[in-house]
Amino acid sequence: MSEKTMGEKLQEQLLDTPKNGYDRIDDATQAAIQEFSEGYKAFLDNGKTEGEVVEYTIAMLKEHGYEEYQLGKKYGPGDKLYLNNRGKALAFVTMGTKPLSEGVKMVASHIDSPRIDMKPHPLYEDTQTAFFKTHYYGGLRKYQWVVMPLALHGVVVKKDGTQVKIHIGDDEGDPVFVINDLLPHLAQQQSQRTLAEGIKGEELNIVVGGCPFKDDKVSQRVKLAIAKILFDKYSIVESDFVTAEITAVPAFGARDVGFDRSFVGGYGQDDRVCAYTSLIAALESPNPTYTTVTVFADREEIGSCGNTGMKSAYLKHFLADLAAPYGIPVRNILDSSECLSSDVAAAVDPTFPDVTEKYNSAYMNYGVSIEKYTGSRGKSGTSEASAVFFAKLRKLFDDAGVVWQTGELGKVDQGGGGTVAVYLAEENMDVIDVGVPVWSMHAPFEVTSKLDIYMAYRAYVTFLNMKD
Ligand code: MN
Ligand code: MN
């Protein structure tokens, strides 16, 4: 082996040259990466709405000894508990050996994803076809949601309070639903529209049937026939839709992508990829030094508003109640707490290189992405982690062999976005964004890297088990 030149030595010593994650791991880790994604794909398939994620997660928590939080109870080291907020948001806790006054280690993700909700009066008939009118939720690109199989998920709460679950389209043999688009032969005018207007909100109408009810005495016979099927199957009538929560989601499940199976493709990975990895990290951290809090927030995609979103007081109230038996004011917990805002990052897409700045963006397979700030333009609407906090995590993750990278959300003037980080920072915690890079974010079929997923999990485990 020839000796390194001075230039090579200096390069190694002085320059920060990011490396592909696969060049930084051993064969055992590579096998673990493949294995880890299996549970993740099952999580995606079982949780296409925030309600389903909460239900699936609680079952896993119970298997691992978590119990529902009891107000007023004094919890001690190693105790495991969860708080279910209206079946849509979740916080789960493992009590540490240090007192709560020394703060908690929090990992906060969100479990809502862009989707297509039904309007209060969804069912109508036009030209002997029955449709559902919809109202999209979150920042989705409407043209991506047409001409593909959709499933309907949700719950109908009837006047007497009984709940009827809707879950149709995912299982083999189920019918699916679809939003139509024009044929190219007649799309001359539509093709002149901008991409943003290519499909408009009021064109997201879902085909739900076409067979008329056999009775000459009534009008709207297809609508009536569908109403009858809904009544026979779910015991619901048209007015029950007004108080229902039904949404359309992609009917297909999560799949491996690529000949080498190095990617996961699937719906709702923003941000269930961070939810799943933080869940497994918490389950594998039964005896933490600091109390750990894992949060699955709702409503992030529409601005974290509402009682199940991160702007809601519920989380702070919960921490206050948890500390009350010890006589610790909640502000003393928050002031000394540290939090990872675990949300996805935008990965550089080689097909669309112009929107990202290549020296400061997250890349697929380069590990979990740590972002000091998000926001748009002049760091608008974001919190920014301190250099002290970031440096502490840098050492922690490097020492634990976590493969990580850093990035910004696109070019400075390109656009931007935010995460729940800002709302947690406003409670006076140290917060930084740590999440998985994604391609085609908010599309019906988003793509992530299995290596990055695994490294997010490794980062969260390392963080939750911090000793000081
Ligand atoms: Mn997100
Ligand atoms: Mn999002």
Query: In whole angstroms, what is the distance from residue 398 CA to residue 388 CA?
Result: 16
Least reliable range by pLDDT among 73-82, 239-248, 272-281, 408-417: 408-417
Q: How far is the CA of 101 from the centre of ligand 2 (A)?
A: 33
Mean pLDDT of all residues belonging to the chain? 96
Nearest ligand to the C-alpha atom of residue 443: 2
Residue 438 · residue 345 · CB < 8 Å = yes
How many A from CA of 203 to the centre of ligand 2?
Answer: 23
Q: How far is the CA of 302 from the centre of ligand 2 (A)?
A: 9
The pLDDT value recorded for residue 414 is: 87
- Helix/strand/coil for 109: strand
Question: What's the pLDDT at 306?
Answer: 96
Residues 367, 451: contact at Cβ < 8 Å?
yes
Q: What is the pLDDT of residues 388-438, one digit of tens each?
A: 999 999 999 999 999 999 999 889 988 888 899 999 999 999 999 999 999
Q: Where are the domains of the chain?
A: 15-113+267-464, 115-250
- Measured at the CA of 365, the angle between CA 39 and CA 299, to 5 degrees, comes to 60
pLDDT band at 1 (very low <50, low <70, confident <90, very high): low
User: Averaged over 79-103, what is the pLDDT?
Assistant: 98
The CA 345 to ligand 2 mean position distance, Å, reads 9
Distance 318 CA to ligand 2 centre (A): 26
Distance from C-alpha of 72 to C-alpha of 175, rounded to nearest angstrom: 48
d(CA 19, CA 131): 51
Tokens linked to 390: 């970031």
**Ligand 2: centre distance to CA 138 (Å):** 8
> Residue 115 C-alpha to ligand 2 middle, in angstroms?
11
Q: Is the pLDDT of residue 284 over 70?
A: yes
Measure the CA–CA gap between 464 and 291, rounded to whole angstroms: 8
Q: Cα(183) to centroid of ligand 2, in Å? A: 31
C-alpha 366 to ligand 1 mean position (Å): 19
- Cβ atoms of 438 and 344 within 8 Å: the answer is yes
The CATH number given to 15-113+267-464 is 3.40.630.10
Looking at domain 115-250, which of 1.10.30.50, 2.30.250.10, 3.40.50.12780, 3.40.640.10 is its CATH number? 2.30.250.10
CA of 442 to the centre of ligand 2 (A): 6
Pairing of strands 163-168, 80-85: unpaired
pLDDT for 144 equals: 98
Q: Give distance in angstroms: CA of 113 to centre of ligand 2.
A: 7
Strands (E), 251-310: 255-257, 263-266, 291-297
Quick check: helix, strand or coil at residue 218?
coil
Ligand nearest to the CA of 109: 1
Closest CA to 285 of 39, 452, 463: 463
Structure tokens at 397: 């993750």
Write out pLDDT tens, residues 360-389.
Answer: 999 999 999 999 999 889 989 889 999 999
CA of 211 to the centre of ligand 1 (A): 40
Residues, Cβ < 5 Å to ion ligand 1? 270-271, 343
* Whole-number pLDDT of residue 415: 84
247 pLDDT more than 70: yes
